[in-house]
A and B are shown apart, each in its own frame.
Chain A
Amino acid sequence: MKKWVAVFLALVIVGVIFSGTLAEIKERGKLIVGTEPTFPPFEYVNENNEIVGFDIDIAQKIADELGVELEILNLPFDSLIPALISDKIDLIVAGMTITEERAKVIDFSIPYFNANQAIVVRDGEPFMPQTLGDLKGKKVAVQLGTTGDLVVSDISGVTITRFQKFTDAFLELQNKRVDAVVLDEAVANAYVKTFPKFIVAAVIDTGEKYGIGVKKGNEELLEFVNTVISNMFKSPYDLLVEKWFEETK
């Protein structure tokens, strides 16, 4: 029994993490990024049990620039902001749309991806919504806490069912308990490609953008992330010009 208690205490002690200012992250030697790896192609778990995707490569780039290891902490999407606030993670890189509500509790980096919402329906059926307004009086499934959830919640007269996983929302669509699923365009396209029985009826230009979440007040880290992102937008040529003509004082 004593041994088990010791093992458990060791687990608890190892479990202690310290919150992440830039200096602390460097001292710790790793950047802890939270994401929900059930969102291909942005983040998902591949056959080798590795978390991969567009966002992961971006997180890796930030870790590289910091000169530290990258550690990915997988969490449900609606747990990411609580995890950031309670210092479980340094950054959220999870295809998270910058919204007013979220920006009240966390800070966002400059946008790194332009995303839109797609309305997906069963193929071969008469219901072909072209706008969000067409969903009035219909049943719609969304993923809890996502932008799809937010935009559909703004339409009056829609019955919304919210799921932890977008795949469960599609199961609901397949089982004909809802008329449509609203979710991010890139993810919808990946899904519909695998399952031709669904079709993207319309893409709604919501003008939404993905940002990286940083804890409020952690200005140093936010600035660093912004620099990494804006440098990624520049070509190697741009960076050379900057290095040799603009930064020489």
Chain B
Amino acid sequence: MEAISVVFENLPFLLMGALDTLKLTSFSVLIGLVLGTLIGMGRLSKIKVINVPSTVYVEFLRGTPLLVQISIVYFGLPQLGIQLQAYPAAIVALGLNSGAYIAEIVRAGIQSIPKGQYEAARSLGLTHWQTMRYIILPQAFKNILPALGNEFITLTKDSSLASVIGVTELMRRGQFVITRTFQTFSIYFGIALIYFLMTFTISRLVRYVEKRMAVA
């Protein structure tokens, strides 16, 4: 069974790529979370200079293909004098993109908290920011955890698009093995399995955190 043994022989090589995929996703998720929280709050702001740019950001990044965004960051920005290597470029593009999706998740999360809570906190003398920080966001976070988990899983899979700018993550490494061994089908299948193991682990982790938070 050469088709199966070829996957095992190249497993260490592929797993190195899986590690890169995880690193790529983690950095992007961090950027996405920070951006998404800020922009999500911005979407709800009554101040126009905050609200309008936030909405434009979300609509534009959600409305254009990630593949195009990655290419713009890597190939387009140098025209403006910003040179990023493939790896940071991929993190920037993925982070900006997931920021838009997370912003919508955060917005929905904040809106899911009854208005009375906000009013109660304000009448107790908390400022807007204090209310957000101590009352609204912690509760919203609990509510949006499943949606966030979903976004992390999507991002893990979408990171394979970084192969188009030469980031040697799992997908790209798989292509290298294919050109060396010509075992196209079994390698693609092996890659799919590794992606599944990663996303399944993430989904279990999110479930675990959800349960812990439900107790607290």
**A interface, CB within 8 angstroms of B:** 1, 4, 8, 11-12, 14-18, 37-40, 44-47, 49, 73-76, 79, 82-83, 86-88, 165, 167-168, 170-171, 191, 194-195
Contacts and interface: CB of A to CB of B under 8 A. Distances in A.
The main secondary structure of chain A at its interface with chain B is mixed
A222 B180 CA distance: 32
A194 B179 CA distance: 11
A8 B87 CA distance: 11
Nearest to A11: B88
A191 B182 contact: yes
Question: Which has the most chain A C-beta neighbours within 10 Å: B30, B71, B85, B166?
Answer: B166
Contacts of A86: 74-76, 78-79, 83
B30 to A, nearest CB: 6
B89 interface: yes
A34 B59 CA distance: 35
A15 B87 contact: yes
A173 to B, nearest CB: 11
A37 B164 CA distance: 13
Contacts of B25: none
Interface string B151-174: 000000000000111101000100
Contacts of A191: 182
B91 A16 contact: no
Contact of B176 (A8, A44, A83): A44
Contact of B180 (A44, A82, A87, A88): A44
A194 B166 CA distance: 27
24 contacts: A11-B87, A11-B91, A12-B88, A12-B92, A14-B85, A15-B88, A15-B89, A16-B83, A17-B83, A38-B175, A38-B178, A39-B179, A40-B179, A44-B176, A44-B179, A49-B13, A74-B172, A75-B166, A86-B79, A165-B178, A167-B175, A167-B182, A168-B184, A170-B182
The main secondary structure of chain B at its interface with chain A is helix
B80 to A, nearest CB: 10
Interface of B: 13, 16, 27, 30-31, 71, 74-76, 78-79, 83-89, 91-92, 163-166, 168, 172, 175-180, 182, 184-185
A4 B32 CA distance: 13
A17 B85 contact: yes
Contacts of A44: 176, 179-180
A8 B76 CA distance: 20
Contacts of B177: 45
B181 to A, nearest CB: 8
A168 B76 CA distance: 28
B83 A76 contact: no
Nearest to A168: B184
Given A8-B91, A79-B166, 10 more contacts: A37-B176, A73-B86, A75-B165, A87-B78, A88-B78, A165-B175, A165-B178, A167-B175, A167-B182, A170-B182
Contacts of B92: 12
A165 B179 contact: yes
Contacts of B71: 82
Nearest to B163: A76
B76 to A, nearest CB: 8
